[in-house]
Structure 1
Amino acid sequence: MGKNRLGEFEHRLLLAVLRLGGEAYSVPLVLELEERTGREVSQSSVFIVLQRLEKKGLLTSRLDEQTKPETGRVRRYFRLTPEAMRQLRESRSDLMALWEGISTTLDEA
């Protein structure tokens, strides 16, 4: 892997954005992560990591002035960058190489 390795939660969050079409705001991301992992995820932790990923150049964001939910807040949508896609592909390739030949060992255990 490259020198800018993703942390586990960062990796999961980027994958959740990808699963939601490549662009999403924090609430659907929380729901997606909770559904996929079976773990409780706080919206604040998701938003903090989204901002960190944006600073790393893995996400861009935009404010949607048209969507003001009952809270009156404008939603911030985050979109994957080409660099995020490159890192996800690299990570997938690395993990696939590590898993190669292990499935039969796991099944026998």
Structure 2
Amino acid sequence: MKGTYLGEFEELVLLTVGAMYPEAYGVAIMDEIKKEAGRSVNISAIHTALRRLEEKGFVKSNMGGATNARGGRRKRYFELTSFGKKALDEVQSMRMRLYNRITDINFG
């Protein structure tokens, strides 16, 4: 398994996969990131991040059924693993520890 470092974009994709269960597939993830984060990303960036996340064990995937609407092609659905959830928990915990250390000074 590759390293467990989670980059900012990978974290965003991983959060989105978890939030969209059981309907997390490439285009839907891309659309949800645009809607929720206001970031336009291309589908190849999504697929690259999903492949890395799967190699690290943070997500797993399975193929859905073929549909006529997709010309007989199947969608690959992604799901957060317990290891992926643990990685998100650790990132959130670290961020909150650091955030809570910010002193109440006047930023004005």
Interval containing the TM-score (normalised by the shorter chain):
0.7 to 0.9
- How many aligned positions are there? 106
CA RMSD, Structure 1 to Structure 2 (Å) = 2.1
User: Does the 8 Å contact 2:22/2:77 carry over to 1?
Assistant: no
Q: Is the 8 A contact 2:60 2:80 kept in 1?
A: yes
Q: Return the offset for 1:72.
A: 3.3
Q: Does 1:15 align with 2:15?
A: yes
Within 1, Cα distance between the matches of 2:104 and 2:72?
53
Deviating 4+ runs (over 4 angstroms): none
Between the aligned partners of 1:69 and 1:104, the Cα distance in structure 2 is 55
Aligned-partner Cα distance in 1 for 2:53–2:68: 24
Question: Within the alignment, does 1:84 sit opposite 2:70 as a pair?
Answer: no
Aligned partners of 1:22 and 1:89: how far apart in 2? 20
Q: Structure 1, residues 34-64: CA drift from partner, whole Å, max 9, x if none?
A: 1122121111110111111111111111001
TM-score by length of 2: 0.85
Provide the rounded CA distance (Å) in 1 between the counterparts of 2:48 and 2:68.
21
